[in-house]
């Protein structure tokens, strides 16, 4: 794997992606942040060696490097999901690349269903911990040059960054929650019984991404900060018909508040 990582990293450096301070992975309906980046270099995933090839129509993402909040960042507009048929190692491969490009911190966002009865559609949840119900991306042989065999997950989400986000949300009068994100494979949304079960086992929000990327980031000791945008509710009495489109629409409505938090977080790095 290290050879592949080096090949991809070298390619991106030769395209001008040099010493980024931070990386950011943008979830469904949350790609608008990239419009605020300046002096950008954009590269289609399909032109990046060893990147997974997108098989889903309309999902061919872009890596965007540029200035944001006074820093150099690399944004992933579009991510890879397990439900698309990629292995967990492939889903998280771009995170390895971001680390080897030199990022000091990984920011992530996703759209998720709220299972905490206090949550409303349009809320933002800072992820404090997760429950990974996807296959672990570190299964298989470990390369000790990249990370340890048994990484600790006691603080997968950086406490200092969480604290900072709560202060920023307060200053900007943004309603915010802290909570546990549970990742399931999808592509089905949950049955009412599954939502209930996920709540019972400790989840506040449910989605189909993020945990493989965070596991791989922590394998390489990269600090992570992640937020969920609540696009629908898996709460008894409040469950409505969910589609990919309704998730996108609700995520887009919250996008500017999420971007405010991310901008201020990156500025203060
Ligand atoms: N469940 C799983 N994934 C999701 C949901 C949900 O309710 N909403 C957005 N992504």
Return the residue whose CA atom lies nearest to atom 10 of ligand 1. 112
pTM above 0.75, yes or no: yes
Q: What ranges make up the beta strands (E) of 6-154?
A: 22-26, 38-44, 62-68, 71-77, 105-114, 124-132
Say whether pLDDT at 56 is over 70.
no
CA dist 84 and 220 (Å) reads: 25
Which is more confidently placed, 226 or 54?
A: 226
What's the confidence (pLDDT) of residue 155? 96
Assess whether the C-beta atom of 123 lies below 6 angstroms from ligand 1: no
Among 31, 229, 27, 207, CA closest to 126: 229
Q: For the packed helices 88-101 and 211-219, what is the interaxial angle rounded to 10 degrees?
A: 50
Say whether pLDDT at 58 is over 70.
no
Domains of the chain: 2-267 (3.40.50.1580)
Assess whether the C-beta atom of 28 lies below 6 angstroms from ligand 1: no
> Which run of H or E residues covers position 229?
strand 224-233
Which is more confidently placed, 229 or 28?
A: 229
Among 41, 80, 45, 44, CA closest to 64: 41
Q: Are 158 and 218 in contact (CB under 8 A)?
A: no
What's the confidence (pLDDT) of residue 31? 83
Mutate to test the pocket of ligand 1, among 110, 247, 250 (most ligand atoms within 8 A of CB): 247
Atom of ligand 1 nearest to the CA of 234: 7
231 C-alpha to center of ligand 1: Å? Answer: 7
Assess whether the C-beta atom of 115 lies below 6 angstroms from ligand 1: no
Return the residue whose CA atom lies nearest to atom 2 of ligand 1. 207
CA dist 148 and 12 (Å) reads: 26
> Which tokens in the block code for residue 195?
């939502």
Cβ atoms within 10 A of the Cβ of 173, count? 7
Assess whether the C-beta atom of 250 lies below 6 angstroms from ligand 1: no
Reported as a single tens digit per residue, the pLDDT across 14-38 is 999 999 999 999 988 788 889 999 9
Per-residue pLDDT averaged across 145-163, rounded?
A: 97
């Amino acid at each position: 794997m290290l050879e592949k990582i080096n090949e991809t990293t070298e390619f991106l450096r030769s395209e001008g992606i040099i010493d980024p301070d931070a990386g950011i992975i943008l979830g469904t309906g949350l790609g608008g942040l990239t419009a605020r980046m300046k002096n950008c270099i954009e590269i289609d995933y399909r032109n990046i060696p060893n990147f997974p090839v997108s098989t889903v129509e309309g999902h061919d993402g872009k890596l965007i490097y540029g200035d944001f909040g006074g820093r150099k960042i690399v944004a992933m507009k579009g991510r890879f999901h397990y439900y698309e048929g990629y292995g967990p190692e492939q889903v998280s491969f771009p995170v390895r690349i971001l680390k080897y490009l030199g990022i000091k911190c990984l920011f992530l966002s996703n759209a998720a269903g709220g299972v905490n009865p206090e949550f409303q559609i349009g809320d933002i949840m800072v992820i404090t911990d997760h429950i990974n119900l996807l296959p672990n991306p570190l299964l298989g042989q470990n390369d000790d040059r990249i990370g340890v065999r048994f990484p600790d997950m006691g603080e997968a989400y950086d406490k200092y960054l969480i604290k900072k986000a709560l202060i920023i949300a307060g200053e900007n009068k943004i309603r915010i929650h802290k909570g546990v994100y549970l990742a399931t494979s999808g592509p089905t949304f949950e049955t009412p019984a599954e939502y209930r079960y996920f709540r019972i086992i400790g989840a506040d929000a449910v989605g189909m991404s993020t945990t493989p990327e965070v596991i791989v980031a922590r394998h390489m000791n990269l600090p992570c900060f992640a937020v969920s945008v609540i696009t629908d509710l898996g709460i008894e009495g409040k469950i409505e018909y969910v589609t990919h489109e309704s998730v996108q629409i609700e995520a887009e409505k919250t996008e500017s508040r999420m971007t405010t938090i991310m901008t201020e977080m990156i500025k203060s790095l």
